[in-house]
């Protein structure tokens, strides 16, 4: 709640037009009350939506399924950062404004004017496509209404749109742009798709069983009164749709849960800090989300979760009735326009609740090494070591360890994971695996630590330290050392050597078997040219206008993270 109060004070200091947020009048600057594209407001994604390991930090404005819509600066300011990547936000522009705000624009197809010239010069001077650079204040100034970019579909975008953010400039804290008065139509109430009750202890029973009880929306009217005994918590799966016929399941502005007409739990995200965004994993039913991508937001609060967007007003989000009465739990889901949906469950309490309180969690044995959420944890087992900083896990737990054979690796697999709450770590941790005996010293630079989760194998940032490999991971799982001596592949998609190119671009597909592609270059007749990398399609694209009439020699050189390199040459006629 301190974070929300800080937001209200900050916005009030800069603004003049009154708005209402959670019953409090704040002010919003007029210049941010419109989107930076001249299109009807149509949101494919909202602020604070739940995404894998993070919250969505802006609004996704539809662009009619096409690229190239003009993007205008909402206020005077200067370009403070430009980030170009094959992943994430793709081509990203940051503009810092004198009133204390910063606006961010992602998935762009093109930068315009002086900004575009800066990007072109930087890429050619440094022989890179992807880069992330902060610019000195006022080195590129922009004015209100100036054309700064064109919309696109770069990076991790699933379709053409503009991702737009408003942040506090001093700490890059994103704020819901709708708080600034952006007008849009929404007459559709949110949907409550499901409700769950979760047993918290071994003695808890819900409808006679010690297992999670799920009520889907269509089933809710069928239930009368449910017998409960012992301590439990609850969760709700709810989403919003701003427009009729939309298939997008957008995030919710606010969830209120009442127990016997008393406010028990609130969830709302007017703002957040990026360091805490992974805490989303602690406030959803994470195992269910992994299986279905349905996000049940749960009331249980874990002690190592320091987020500011969910509040359980008593008992850590747990419910326990120590009587024989009938109780009511009411769920309310609201959007930013005040439309809301509501569901009610009636529960009959039984006397066993008092006996079950403070019992152990259901059906979980405490095996492994104890880990305290606010303390540093270290483990050395066999040829494996791990160091986990404080507040990496969300509550006291046990870290399990085992090893197994792996015919695809140079070492055994070392498995680590949490026992009670198998959630992803909140932050990165360090691990070390001893080098196998007899390893060829000439191959040391080809070794990498991999994290294995099911069929997913990902190479981790790895360095050699004495007689071991050191790696940094943001996931628990299985770890081993593998060797990568296979160079990336480069295949032409729209041309053949010795033939005439008819397309306006030269496109090749690139791929790597393990450690991933980290550098790529294109040379046309010996001259370096920008090759645009699209991570979604694993392609490099070069503008064919760089070809001269007649025959040209086109070279692509691609390298992976351990230095394996492929170079391919083609003769292309123009």
Architecture per CATH, 2-180 = Distorted Sandwich (2.70)
Cα–Cα–Cα angle for 73, 74, 80, nearest 5°? 55
Q: How confident is the model at residue 318 (pLDDT cuts 50, 70, 90)?
A: very high
Q: What mean pLDDT comes out for the span 538-546?
A: 96
Convert the pLDDT of each residue in 266-278 to its tens digit: 999 999 999 889 9
Query: How far is Cα 231 from Cα 285, in angstroms, rounded to an integer?
Result: 17
Q: How confident is the model at residue 68 (pLDDT cuts 50, 70, 90)?
A: very high
Q: What mean pLDDT comes out for the span 71-99?
A: 96
CATH domain 489-573 topology: Immunoglobulin-like (2.60.40)
Architecture per CATH, 369-483 = Sandwich (2.60)
For a pLDDT cut of 90, what percent of the chain falls above it? 79
Q: Is 155 or 27 the better-scoring residue by pLDDT?
A: 155
CATH of domain 191-356: 2.70.50
* Neighbouring residues of 172: CB distance < 8 A, sequence distance ≥ 6: 102, 274
| Residue-range domain boundaries for the chain | 2-180, 191-356, 369-483, 489-573
Convert the pLDDT of each residue in 334-355 to its tens digit: 999 999 999 999 999 987 644 4
Q: What mean pLDDT comes out for the span 18-41?
A: 67
Write the DSSP symbol of residue 47.
Answer: T
Is the pLDDT at 363 greater than 60? The verdict is: no
Query: What pLDDT score does 360 carry?
Result: 47
Query: How far is Cα 210 from Cα 403, in angstroms, rounded to an integer?
Result: 32
Is the pLDDT at 357 greater than 50? The verdict is: no
**DSSP string of 143-158?**
-TT-EEEEEB--TT-S
Cα–Cα–Cα angle for 278, 152, 53, nearest 5°? 10
Is the pLDDT at 48 greater than 80? The verdict is: yes
Is the pLDDT at 246 greater than 80? The verdict is: no
pTM, entire model:
0.89
Q: What mean pLDDT comes out for the span 101-106?
A: 96
- Lowest mean pLDDT of 209-223, 244-258, 297-311, name the range: 209-223
Q: What mean pLDDT comes out for the span 118-127?
A: 97
Q: What mean pLDDT comes out for the span 416-423?
A: 94
Is the pLDDT at 250 greater than 90? The verdict is: no
Is the pLDDT at 188 greater than 60? The verdict is: yes
Q: What mean pLDDT comes out for the span 402-413?
A: 95
Query: How far is Cα 391 from Cα 427, in angstroms, rounded to an integer?
Result: 8
Query: How far is Cα 540 from Cα 506, in angstroms, rounded to an integer?
Result: 8
Torsion of CA 153, 475, 94, 98, to 10 degrees: 150
Residue 446 near residue 484, CB atoms below 8 Å: yes
Query: How far is Cα 57 from Cα 89, in angstroms, rounded to an integer?
Result: 11
Q: How confident is the model at residue 364 (pLDDT cuts 50, 70, 90)?
A: very low
Query: What pLDDT score does 8 carry?
Result: 41
For a pLDDT cut of 70, what percent of the chain falls above it? 92
Is the pLDDT at 36 greater than 90? The verdict is: yes
Q: What mean pLDDT comes out for the span 103-126?
A: 97
- Average pLDDT of the chain is 90
């Amino acid at each position: 709640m301190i974070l929300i109060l800080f937001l209200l004070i900050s916005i009030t200091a800069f603004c003049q037009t009154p708005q209402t947020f959670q019953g409090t009048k704040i002010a919003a600057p007029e210049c941010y009350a419109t989107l930076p594209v001249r299109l009807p407001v149509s949101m494919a994604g909202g602020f604070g939506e739940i995404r894998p390991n993070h919250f969505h930090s802006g609004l996704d404005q539809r662009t009619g399924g096409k690229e190239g819509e003009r993007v205008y600066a909402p206020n005077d300011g200067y370009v403070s950062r430009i980030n170009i990547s094959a992943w994430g936000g793709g081509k990203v522009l940051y503009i810092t404004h004198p009133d204390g705000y910063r606006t961010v624009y992602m998935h762009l197809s093109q930068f315009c004017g002086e900004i575009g010239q800066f990007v072109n010069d930087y890429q050619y001077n440094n022989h890179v496509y992807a880069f992330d650079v902060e610019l000195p204040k006022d080195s590129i100034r922009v004015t209100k209404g100036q054309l700064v970019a064109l919309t696109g579909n770069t990076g991790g975008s699933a379709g053409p749109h503009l991702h737009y953010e408003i942040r506090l400039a001093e700490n890059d804290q994103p704020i819901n742009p709708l708080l600034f008065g952006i007008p849009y139509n929404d007459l559709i109430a949110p949907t409550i798709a499901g409700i769950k009750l979760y047993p918290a202890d071994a003695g808890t029973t819900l409808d006679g069983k010690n297992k999670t009880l799920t009520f889907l929306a269509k089933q809710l009217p069928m239930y009368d009164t449910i017998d409960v005994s012992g301590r439990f918590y609850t969760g709700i799966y709810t989403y919003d749709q701003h427009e009729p016929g939309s298939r997008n399941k957008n995030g919710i502005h606010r969830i209120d849960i009442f127990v016997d007409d008393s406010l028990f739990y609130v969830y709302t995200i007017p703002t957040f800090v990026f360091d805490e965004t992974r805490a989303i994993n602690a406030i959803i039913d994470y195992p269910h989300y992994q299986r279905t991508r349905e996000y049940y937001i749960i009331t249980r609060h874990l002690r190592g979760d320091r987020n500011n967007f969910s509040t359980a007003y008593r008992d850590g989000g747990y419910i326990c009735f120590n009587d024989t009465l009938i109780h009511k739990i009411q769920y309310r889901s609201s959007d930013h326009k005040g439309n809301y949906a509501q569901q009610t469950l009636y529960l009959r309490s039984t006397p066993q609740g008092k006996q079950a309180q403070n019992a152990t969690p259901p059906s979980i044995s405490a095996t492994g090494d104890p880990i305290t959420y606010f303390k540093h944890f270290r483990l050395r087992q066999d040829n494996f070591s791990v160091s986990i900083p404080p507040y990496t896990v969300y509550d006291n737990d046990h870290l399990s360890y085992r090893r197994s054979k792996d015919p695809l690796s140079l070492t055994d697999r070392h498995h680590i994971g949490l026992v009670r709450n198998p959630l992803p770590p909140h932050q990165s941790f360090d691990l070390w695996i001893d080098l196998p005996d007899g390893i060829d010293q000439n191959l040391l630079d080809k070794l990498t630590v991999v994290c294995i989760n099911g069929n997913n194998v990902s190479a981790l940032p790895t360095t050699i330290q004495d007689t071991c490999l050191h790696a940094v991971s943001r996931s628990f799982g299985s770890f081993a050392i593998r060797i990568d001596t296979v160079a990336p592949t480069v295949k032409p998609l729209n041309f053949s050597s010795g033939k005439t190119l008819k397309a306006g671009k030269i496109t090749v597909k690139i791929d790597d078997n393990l450690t991933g592609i980290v550098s790529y270059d294109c040379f046309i007749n010996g001259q370096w040219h920008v090759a645009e990398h699209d991570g979604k399609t694993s392609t490099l694209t070069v503008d064919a206008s760089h070809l001269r009439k007649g025959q040209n020699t086109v070279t692509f050189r691609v390298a992976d993270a351990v230095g394996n390199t492929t170079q391919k040459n083609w003769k292309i006629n123009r």
